[in-house]
Amino acid sequence: MTSRAGVLLREMRRQTGLTQEQLAERSGVSVSTIRRLENGRPIDPRMGTVKLLADALGTTAAERRALLAEFGAAAEPAEAEPPRIRSALSDAADQFAQVVASRWQREEEQRRVHDPYPLPVRWQQASPNLTDRWDNIRGVRPGGSAEPLDLNGELDDIADVYRRIPSGRLAVLGRAGSGKTILTLRFVLGFLRTRTPAEPVPAIFTLSSWDPTASTLRDWLIERLPQDYPDCPGLTGPLAAELVETGCLLPVLDGFDELATGLHAAALAALSATSLPFLLTSRPAEYATAVAATDVPTSTAGVELLDLTPADVSGYLPRTSSRAGDRWDPVLAELRACPGGSLSTALRTPLMVALARTVYSAGREPAVLLDTARFPTSHALEDHLLASFVPTVYEHRPPHAARPLRSWDPERAQRWLGYLAQHVGQLDEHDLAWWQLGASLRRSSRILAVVLASTLAIAVLNWLVFVPLDLVGRGTAFTFRAGLMDGLLIGPMVGLAFGLVHGLMIVCGGRGIEPSRVQIRLRGRHRTGRQFFRAYASRLGAALLGGFVIGLGYGPVNTALHGLLFGFPPDGKSLAEKMLVPTLVYGLIFGLAAGLVFGLMAALEIPLDVGTAATPLGLLATNRATALRQLLILVPAVALAIAFGGSLLVELLQGPLGPLRWPLSSGLLIGAVGGLGGGLSYVLAFTAWGQWVLLARIWLPLTGRLPWAVPAFLDDAYRRGVLRQAGAVYQFRHARLQDHLGRGYRAHR
């Protein structure tokens, strides 16, 4: 037991106005025991004793949990919860806690937080204008009053400081680069290190993607959990909802200031509307503006991070490298001599100190920072450190990199990173997702890429299938030219059709292509009942439309080409009549074949094993496997559906539409081209992996905006410390670095 437990008990007793004798009479616990507990003398109280005192004090649920936790006693589970469900949820929460701890431990090592020791981030209590009343924070009953809690502390104290807050709601405010993100990381690891089974599991969420006007905090957390923590087995929608709704999750909401413009006040109102505990980080200005527009979230305490002192920096930088020697001495002397100067002001945040460490730990002389002619202000010094960071890490191998790093030209690497930074900034968020890289292109470029890829696929496959057969069957130069013309006309027509559907549905329709969360397997737990019919209906409608559009384009072109080359049948019909019926028939055949195949594809889908997609490259590999399996199924299925389905449909339409021909051999050939070309075009136009290949691996490198080895470049940037991982996406190391790289790219474009 700690003395803090006794202080908490004494404060709760005083809030109720009871003396120790009165509390003893109410609870049945002796006065001497209560006195020893409040004074913090060595004693090991029984759980029953603490519960009797909590009952006698009339504590709220939050106060009761805090009191039991301080005395080392686990809070009781809700009596209404069946033991079996409680056990299942507890197991799921414990497993989730292990995943969270493992992830952020690796991330802490990647960011070198403990090398040689964490910077001394400190804080003080925030202005009263930015916090709620203490009687609300401490849950005092109406008519009572509460004294402020002492929330001051340092980085390793953050979990203990949070536990002092009965409401479980804390806002951490700090300037850019002051250490808010590192604080959330340390909070999660520290909280999990001492977490009891009755406590929730802290999990970090980046707030930039939350729209509080469209979804509540609970609904958004339920949606984000499987996406942000794909490495937790079984964390699907139902389990995510249970963890959130039953209080097993403690959301750590990072980057309130990064919400879209105009949503800050709505976000605070949404936080007040929920009873969930949370730890929130924000820059002070955005938080203060939102508070002025609405109010402080109910029962929320607040702390504000303090600047590093010259003594902090002087004690830290020389210890970052044994090779540094006395190189830092002139800089440290200036810090001590002018604590309010430009250099001291620039090095007041952990971000700038970390950048200075990186830039000048590779042999450069840090005394250049004392050049007041070159760096007359603190802003000039900060810009210099930001500008020097990327060239430094690409010129020298980071000392913490365990595996060999690929060699990149620093100037090109900076330009590529600048393009990525601008792309993320245009999305108005901080997630760098591989499946969204194509969105950095103009709409016309994305549609043109699909048209060209589909055209090339259909044309080449048409030539490979029909030209050799024509030469074998007829053996003339005329038929060879006819085969070439067939590919040259049919390819662009189908390409335009795919581009039209892609443009209407994806580019202009705003229907983003997300990574597939399913796998194609012959065995496994497939969809059944309502889930299958819902998926089947959605695929059927889209595939029918797409196939019918392609058929409408294929029909007249194919009919006109063969009529011009080989002549039209002498049946007395006009050219329009000769083309109308084949157009309608091809539209029906292609549309029904595509609808049938893509609809039945839903029967082979099973939920993705998210454990294989815990990183950006892991999710990419999983989606590549899914797309290739789709292609392997689509090619023969579409070919057979066109060949035999076309034959059946032609037989049914013989009467209404007149004499029709659909030889099985021709149907199989058209089906082969349709299956191969159509399947490949579908993958490139309508799957996340296909768009990644077409746009990020081909189009963007062709135009010089990204390297050819994009996956290797992103992974290398993460290992060099330019990027960080947040589940299945990357993020830039810091928003200021992202903004600097984006501005630099735009200035030199």
335-378 pLDDT, tens digit each: 989 988 999 999 999 999 999 998 987 678 899 999 999 999 99
Residue 204: name the closest of 222, 186, 188 by CA: 188
Q: What is the pLDDT of residue 231?
A: 72
Lowest mean pLDDT among 219-228, 309-318, 501-510, 588-597: 501-510
Q: What is the pLDDT of residue 174?
A: 95
Name the H helices within 329-442: 329-337, 342-346, 350-360, 378-395, 410-426
> Distance of CA 649 to CAs 597, 643, 654, 673, Å?
16, 10, 9, 19
Asked if 29 and 49 count as a contact pair (C-beta separation under 8 A), the reply is yes
pLDDT above 80 (res 537)? no
What's the token pair of residue 570? Answer: 């002498």
Residue carrying the six token digits 């969420």: 205
**pLDDT confidence bin for 83, thresholds 50/70/90:** very low
Asked if 333 and 158 count as a contact pair (C-beta separation under 8 A), the reply is no
Cis peptide before 116 (omega within 30 of 0): yes
Q: What is the pLDDT of residue 16?
A: 73
| Cβ within 8 Å of residue 187, ≥6 positions away | 158, 159, 162, 202, 252, 279
What's the token pair of residue 93? Answer: 């929460």
What is the pTM (predicted TM-score) of this model?
Answer: 0.76
Q: Which residue has the higher pLDDT, 68 or 470?
A: 68
- Where does residue 147 rank: exposed (0-12), middle (13-18), buried (19+ CB within 10 A)? exposed
* Residue ranges, CATH 1.10.260.40, the chain: 3-70
Residue 712: name the closest of 304, 326, 416 by CA: 416
CA distance 655 to 569: 19
Backbone torsion region of residue 338, taken as left when φ is above 0, otherwise alpha when ψ lies between -120 and 50, otherwise beta: beta
Coil, helix or strand for 82?
coil
> Distance of CA 391 to CAs 205, 293, 362, 421, Å?
30, 43, 12, 16
* Residue ranges, CATH 3.40.50, the chain: 91-305
What secondary structure letter does DSSP report for 83?
A: H
Backbone torsion region of residue 58, taken as left when φ is above 0, otherwise alpha when ψ lies between -120 and 50, otherwise beta: left
B/e letters for 215-229, b = 16+ CB within 10 Å, e = fewer, are eebbebbbbbbbbbb
Amino acid at 369: L
CA distance 52 to 38: 15
Q: What is the pLDDT of residue 84?
A: 42
CA distance 585 to 718: 54
Amino acid at 20: Q
CATH architecture of 91-305: 3-Layer(aba) Sandwich (3.40)
Asked if 297 and 305 count as a contact pair (C-beta separation under 8 A), the reply is no
Q: Where are the extended beta strands (E) located within 219-336? A: 249-254, 278-282, 301-305
Name the H helices within 659-709: 664-673, 679-686, 688-691, 700-702
Residue carrying the six token digits 């006309």: 489
**pLDDT confidence bin for 574, thresholds 50/70/90:** low
CA distance 688 to 498: 16
Q: What is the pLDDT of residue 642?
A: 84
Coil, helix or strand for 526?
coil
| Cβ within 8 Å of residue 391, ≥6 positions away | 410, 411, 414
Cis peptide before 226 (omega within 30 of 0): no
Q: Length of the chain in residues, anyone? A: 749
Q: What is the pLDDT of residue 565?
A: 59
Cα dihedral across residues 354, 359, 365, 366: positive or negative: negative
What dotted CATH number matches 3-70? 1.10.260.40
Give the tens place of pLDDT for each residue, 443-455: 889 999 999 998 9
pLDDT above 90 (res 42)? no
Q: Which residues are bridge partners to 732 per DSSP? A: 723
Q: Which residue has the higher pLDDT, 140 or 571?
A: 140
CA distance 9 to 463: 84
pLDDT above 50 (res 563)? yes
Q: What is the pLDDT of residue 420?
A: 95
Q: What is the pLDDT of residue 203?
A: 95
pLDDT above 70 (res 31)? no
Q: Percent of the chain beyond pLDDT 90?
A: 32
**pLDDT confidence bin for 87, thresholds 50/70/90:** low
What average pLDDT does this structure show over 37-46? 60
What average pLDDT does this structure show over 161-173? 94
pLDDT above 70 (res 204)? yes
CA distance 734 to 739: 9
Start-to-end Cα distance in the chain: 63
| Cβ within 8 Å of residue 191, ≥6 positions away | 159, 162, 199, 202, 250
Give the tens place of pLDDT for each residue, 676-721: 888 898 889 888 899 999 999 999 999 999 999 999 999 999 989 8
Asked if 98 and 106 count as a contact pair (C-beta separation under 8 A), the reply is no
Lowest mean pLDDT among 33-47, 90-104, 110-124: 33-47
CA distance 274 to 257: 20
Output the average pLDDT for the chain.
Answer: 81
CB atoms within 10 A of CB 182: 19
